[in-house]
Amino acid sequence: MIMRQTLPVVLFFFRLLALSGGLLVFSGCLASSAQPRSALTDQQAELQRREATAADALDKAVQLFHNGEYLDEDAALDYLDQAVELDPNQLTARYRRALILMERGRMEAAEADVRKILELRPDHIQARFTLGYILSQRQEYLQAVREFSQVLDLDDSVAEAFALRGAAYAKSGRTEDAIHDFDRAIALSPAHFEAYYNRGLAHMTLGDDERALYDLTQALSLDSLALPVLMARATVSMRLADFDRAEDDYRRALLLTPTDSGLYALLAEACAGSGDYPAAADAARRALGLARAEGDARAAAAYEEQVRAYAGKPKVEPKPKPAPLPEPEPDAVPQASTDAEKPPAQPEGGKPPAPPAPPAP
């Protein structure tokens, strides 16, 4: 399953984008104060008063924002509500309010705010990005792709837009397009955890397990406690018959979820794959005990079969891997021998040529 961006990570990114938007309010006020004054109608004076009061409410909300979060989110939301009520065209207040609403799970209200922003200013890149994210969370992936594409038309250096469009492509079955977008995200942000993880899953979908293993390993180097990544890499390792790596990943996963009976059953399969049947039987017994404690009779029956399959079998020591054959010299021409008992010629020094170094993992 393609990993979606976690809401705290995405909101942090949104808020970084919002910082520049917040500054627009103050520059706008300064610019308007420099305009020559003229006589105002009562209606114009009231509108100017409302806009000034809205700007003041927005200023108070911005002052509560420190280090990526609001010191008092409820108070900030109240100020932003005041700003939007007084000045419905206050885009910065609407955008900041949309972020708070998203964090509180009020996606429909957040969507209404960003759509209003885009109605007034279609090139508002933060609002366009946010709308794409909301649509992807609602599993409207084709519409999300369209919004992220418009973001990238405005600025093709936004790694998050490539990462999220790639995830939407993957969910839509366009795996090759997804991998291309994950490539772009990683090129722009080499430590992009979600892009590596999702690209690994995309390679798994295509059956390219070697590339999947590389990407999932990169993701784990960025977050070693990511349970979905550990599980995905263990799956790839099993497919590649790398049972030792799979066993290690399953054991690490069990440190995070020690009561998962299914994980113990998978660990049993990995141990059996490497020939360690006593460890496989022990893991299967742990799975069986947990399933019985949970009252899951169907799973318990399957785990009993595992126990019977592995119990009593001795550990099989893995066969040593054969040394690679020496490669012939590029210009060497094999000579026919008339004497079958004659030993092969040795190079100078009397030692056979060293085998080539194994390829880098």
Tell me if 232 sits within 8 A of 193, measured CB to CB: no
Beta bridge partner(s), residue 69: 66
pLDDT for the residue numbered 323 = 62
Single-letter residue type at 162: F
pLDDT in tens, 102-156: 999 999 999 999 999 999 999 999 999 999 999 999 999 999 999 999 999 999 9
Per the model's pLDDT, the better-predicted residue between 182 and 45 turns out to be 182
Q: What is the CATH number of domain 1-31+47-138?
A: 1.25.40.10
Mean pLDDT over residues 186-215, rounded? Answer: 98
d(CA 92, CA 90): 6
Give the CATH superfamily of 149-225: Tetratricopeptide repeat domain (1.25.40.10)
List the single range of 8-12, 53-57, 60-64, 186-190 with lowest mean pLDDT.
8-12
pLDDT in tens, 271-285: 999 999 999 999 999
Assigned CATH class of 241-318: mainly alpha
pLDDT for the residue numbered 33 = 42
pLDDT in tens, 15-52: 545 444 443 333 333 334 445 556 778 778 888 888 99
Q: HSE on the CB side for 126, CA within 13 Å?
A: 25
List the single range of 1-15, 275-289, 328-342 with lowest mean pLDDT.
328-342
Q: Is the predicted pLDDT of residue 97 greater than 60, yes or no? A: yes
- Asked if the domains 149-225 and 241-318 are classified in one and the same CATH topology, the answer is yes
Give domain limits for the chain: 1-31+47-138, 149-225, 241-318
d(CA 261, CA 35): 71
